Amino acid sequence: MRVRLVWMASVTLFTVAGVAQSQQQPGLTVPAGGNGVSQRSEVSQWVGPVRISIDYHSPAIHRRRFDRTGHIWGELVPFGFFDDGHGPSTATPWRAGANESTTISLSHGVKIGGLDIASGTYSLFLEVEREGPWTWIFSKSTGGWGSYQYDPRNDALRVPVQPTPAPFTEYLTFGFDNRRPDATTAYLQWENQRVPLDITVPNVNELWVAQMRHELQGWPGFSPDNLVAAAQFCADHKINLDEALVWADRAIHEPFRGAGIGREDFSTLRAKAAVLEALGRDAEAASIMDKALSLTGTATIRLVLYELGLLSAGKTAKAVEVAEVNARQHPDEPYWTHFGLARAYAAVHDTANAIKEWEIVIRNVPASEKGDLPTFEQTLRELKAGR
């Protein structure tokens, strides 16, 4: 109780002093809390093209001469909605930080705790409970001091969450973990508690495509490589395939009005074939890939990567064909062509040829691939042992 009373007294004094100072020196920027405590912090995370930022002030467990360990949850941060005496609200959640209201900014609409919320900036409050779930509150009213102006009519979203025990954390800290291509978990951690906030971008691939489409309308759209990358992305994710086919054709044929020129090579044909395959037009895709493989001058590594993709898809016979084309086109290449042949022959259980190729690979491993040498040697031993 003494810690709580001392803390309330310090807040009151600071508030009065701050008001007086603001009247004397409007617009003056001073250290948070008057002496640099509860410093302003910001943390951001991208989920695909979506930017999530949390702006807050970070109080400490130890403040001046007081150790507030064990007095945070339920004392410094009261349970439930409470009246802090600073009005006008008489039933406020916690500001999830210090000083001004904590805010969260979303560049796009997302799902939070499985619930939809639009893009924008929101004040972020937290209702803390002795038992049961805590509740994150997103308010459309921003720019306030603390939660003294809180009005539930401005709520945009409420999300119940379960706090979990956490290692001791001196400074209130927001962060992000569980990062995935379409989701992340924001969290608040302070003293011995961690409070999660699951954020999902269910349409992340559509957002990527929208960004690519916008960029391809400008100068990036004059590059066949950019058109190939966009078309291949769509093929890989089976999305926006009709437009992706247009992009692939442009990469092959577009004159670009003097700024560049389309080209018919392995990469552009491969992108078009990938889109056709995603559309279910397998015969057309196979015909285009036959043409791509007949072209000379394709880099060895491109053919190896294509072969590895075929192996992953279980298309072992085609993978052998590509590996052998690679070897014919690059007879003097000492490593990659043999690596491709070794992988392909092993996949079709041509053990004798696989052993021969792995022995060549091991003799010619470049410095950049030395880390894989023990794996290659183990593979060779297993082949020789008939496993």
Yes or no: say if 86 and 146 are a contact pair by the CB < 8 Å rule. Answer: yes
Where is pLDDT greater, at 98 or 65? 98
Mean pLDDT of 52-71: 91
Residue 31: the pLDDT is: 62
Share of the chain above pLDDT 90, in %: 79
Confidence label for 26 from pLDDT (cuts 50, 70 and 90): low
Which residue is associated with the tokens 């459309």?
Answer: 140
Assign 10 a pLDDT band (cuts: 50, 70, 90).
very low
Q: 248 or 25: which carries more pLDDT confidence?
A: 248
> Is 101's pLDDT higher than 90?
yes
pLDDT-derived band of residue 151, with 50, 70 and 90 as boundaries? Answer: very high
Q: What pLDDT was estimated at residue 23?
A: 40
What does 344-367 look like in DSSP terms, one character per residue? HHHHTT-HHHHHHHHHHHHHT--G
With CA atoms as reference, report the closest residue to 335 among 343, 162, 178: 343
Number of residues that make up the chain = 387
Q: Is the pLDDT of residue 377 over 70?
A: yes
Percent over 70 (pLDDT), the chain: 89
Calculate the alpha carbon distances from 71 to 62, 66, 86, 139 in Å: 11, 11, 21, 27
Q: Which pair of structure tokens corresponds to residue 156?
A: 């945009």
Segment holding 200, helix H or strand E:
strand 183-200
Tokens 């001046």 identify what position?
Answer: 64
How far, in Å, CA of 276 to CA of 241, rounded?
8
As assigned by CATH, the class of the 308-387 domain is mainly alpha
Report the alpha-carbon distance of residue 52 to residue 325 in Å, rounded.
Answer: 47
Residue 15 has pLDDT above 60, yes or no: no
Q: List beta partners, residue 124.
A: 138
Dump pLDDT digits (tens) for 183-203: 999 999 999 999 999 999 999
Provide the pLDDT for residue 83: 87
pLDDT at residue 159 above 50?
A: yes
Min mean pLDDT across 160-164, 191-195, 256-260 is at: 256-260
In angstroms, the CA 339 to CA 352 distance is 15
Sign of the dihedral through C-alpha 249, 252, 255, 259? positive
Asked if the model's pLDDT at residue 37 lies above 90, the reply is no
CA atoms within 13 A on the CB side of 290: 6
From residue 206, alpha-carbon distances to 213, 265, 348 in Å are 10, 28, 38
On the question of pLDDT at 1 being above 50, the answer is no
Answer whether residue 109 shows pLDDT above 50: yes
Residue 20 has pLDDT above 50, yes or no: no
pLDDT for 280-313, tens place per residue?
A: 999 999 999 999 999 999 999 999 999 999 999 9
Please tell me the pTM assigned to this model.
0.79
Instruction: Let me know the angle formed at the C-alpha of 97 by 95 and 101, rounded to the nearest 5 degrees.
Output: 50
Separate counts of helices (H) and strands (E) for the chain: 11, 12
Quick one: pLDDT at residue 192?
95
Band of the pLDDT at 387, cuts 50, 70, 90? confident
Residue 300's nearest CA partner among 265, 357, 340 is: 340
Is pLDDT larger for residue 250 or for residue 4? Answer: 250
Measured distance CA(176)–CA(186) in Å, rounded: 4
Residue range 121-147, pLDDT digits in tens: 999 999 999 998 999 999 999 988 888
Given this model, what pLDDT does residue 32 score? 54
Q: Are 190 and 97 in contact (CB under 8 A)?
A: no
Domain regions of the chain by residue span: 2-13+37-200, 203-295, 308-387
Tokens at residue 175, please?
A: 């962060």
Nearest to 237 by CA among 267, 271, 278, 187: 278
328 falls in which pLDDT band (50, 70, 90)?
very high
SS (H, E, C) 20-32: HHHHHCCCCCCCH
Q: What is the pLDDT of residue 4?
A: 43
- Find the mean pLDDT for residues 43-53: 97
Long-range contacts of 374-378 (CB under 8 A, 24+ apart): none
254 in Cβ contact with 224 (< 8 Å): yes
Candidate from 106-110, 209-213, 227-231, 259-263 with smallest mean pLDDT? 259-263
The kind and range of the H/E element at 340 are helix 336-347
pLDDT at 115 over 60: yes
